[in-house]
Amino acid sequence: MTTQTTADSELPKLEEVFNPFSAEYCENPAPQCQALAERGRLVFYEAWQAWIMTQMDDIMDCWQREYLSSDFYDWEFAPERPPEDQWQNFERAMIGHSLLADHDHHRLVRKVVSPAFSRNVVDDIQRKIKPDIVALLDSLKDKESFDYIQEVAVNIPFISITRMIGLPEKYWDEFKPVVMDFTKTWNPTISDEEREAARQQCNRAIDIIQEVVAERRKQPQQDDFLSMMLKIEEENEGFEEWDVITLILALIGAGSETTMNAQQWTVYALLKHPDQIPLALEDDQAFSNAFTEISRWAMTSKMGFARYAPEDMELLGQQLRKGQMVLLMPHLYHHDPQKHAEPLKLDVKRKFDPDVLFGYGPRFCIGAALAKRQLFLTMTELFKRFPNLELMEEPERDIEVHNTIALKKLMVKTNL
């Protein structure tokens, strides 16, 4: 994307041409994203009181060098950081052991837990999840049509997370709300009341995780993610129980709303382009690339990734004050014809170099392979049961979701 050379005074206010919560953006975000990116490398957006980093090279450099803070409490509008003697579970996780805030500790955690995300472990997790996915889809075989979001997509994150960490069924009812609402705890666009409700859900979820950890210590198992984490804790100085808890919370944060969104948009994209289905589902490697292309084509992001100025600083030609939010928005170039040939075309064989869908450098998502394999499993089983599946109607966009373009319903016909 090119940098706008016209004087700012000659341009309309940014809020007049860029509003991710508008119906126009949710129907077609590309023109608004283009208008934003043309304002420069770092653009101030008054509606969010945040700077927006627009260029991919700058975003990758920021991910790589980590010169901005990832600590929510460094945000100028964050609630006051509570003193340690007033910490509840949420603060112990998000301040005391945050995987986001402490760069050195984050690198330690990534190093010691990487074996828990190996190909063999991911394969094992898929074997645990598969019976639940199969049962869920089999329950729909007698239906002529169904809403894929309500019948399938909303259930996948909970199935995946509970099976992965080995959460006993007795905790499911209490644990389910936090799986869906965890990301609200650092969402800058919601009310303090909504954020506090999500925070209290997190406190209870952490209570549950601690109870399960205690149970697992008494009766170790060899075949679940949590047991592997406890073994890593035993063998690595500097990695402790709170690191296990925050890692699980990080997986919930990364795998709840994003997983549900990925489910609905993958089905929608493939049903809009049925010729791409066999190409996307050739194998897990083909699907890995296909999912990056589906995400590019769907272009569902709104806010991107939040960072905070750790001090008064000059950045990309702009003066930032300490605590200001900087939003990294790699999705702005997804439909730019200078970056992607025929950007409106879905081509699951499109090449990406680099593929930054799951981040880059030290912040590349450690669970990326797990997320893509889970989605591949669901799509494979879905089209195996419903080879003639098709859209029943064009879905309506939900403009209320804070960080993504979501669909209100995704009605499909089984055609069995």
Bridge partners, residue 53, by sequence: 42, 328
Range with the poorest average pLDDT among 90-99, 147-156, 292-301, 369-378: 90-99
- Sequence spans of domains, the chain: 8-413
Nearest CA to 97 among 71, 76, 119, 116?
71
Contacts (Cβ under 8 Å, ≥6 apart) of 360: 59, 60, 63, 64, 354
Inter-helix orientation angle 103-113/225-235, to 10°: 110
Looking at domain 8-413, its CATH architecture is Orthogonal Bundle (1.10)
Residue 3 has pLDDT above 50, yes or no: no
| Mean pLDDT rounded to a whole number for the chain | 86
At 133 the pLDDT is 94
What distance in Å separates the CA atoms of residue 202 and residue 182, rounded to the nearest whole number?
7
What distance in Å separates the CA atoms of residue 198 and residue 293, rounded to the nearest whole number?
32
At 2 the pLDDT is 38
Instruction: Tell me the average pLDDT across 17-24.
Output: 93
Q: Is the pTM of this model over 0.75?
A: yes
Residue 261 has pLDDT above 50, yes or no: yes
Instruction: Tell me the average pLDDT across 229-249.
Output: 85
Instruction: Tell me the average pLDDT across 214-241.
Output: 83
Residue 255 has pLDDT above 90, yes or no: no
What distance in Å separates the CA atoms of residue 232 and residue 400, rounded to the nearest whole number?
41
The DSSP result for 66-100, as a single string, is --SB--GGGSTTSPPPPPGGG--HHHIIIIIT-TT
Contact 339/365 with Cβ under 8 angstroms? no
Question: Which range, 61-70, 100-109, 120-129, 193-202, is most confident?
Answer: 61-70
At 1 the pLDDT is 41
Instruction: Tell me the average pLDDT across 245-268.
Output: 82
Question: Which range, 176-185, 365-374, 376-385, is most confident?
Answer: 376-385
Report which secondary-structure segment, H or E, holds 326.
strand 325-328
At 192 the pLDDT is 78
Contact 320/309 with Cβ under 8 angstroms? yes
What distance in Å separates the CA atoms of residue 349 and residue 178, rounded to the nearest whole number?
36
Cis peptide leading into 131, omega within 30 of 0? Answer: no
Sheet order of strands, 390-391 included: 145-147, 411-413, 390-391
In 3-state terms, the chain is what percent helix, strand and coil (to 5)? 55, 10, 35
Q: CB atoms < 10 A from the CB of 48, how many?
A: 15
Pair type for strands 42-45 and 406-407: unpaired
Residue 213 has pLDDT above 70, yes or no: yes
Instruction: Tell me the average pLDDT across 5-33.
Output: 84
At 254 the pLDDT is 64
Confidence label for 25 from pLDDT (cuts 50, 70 and 90): very high
Question: Percent of the chain beyond pLDDT 90?
Answer: 48
Contact 52/329 with Cβ under 8 angstroms? yes
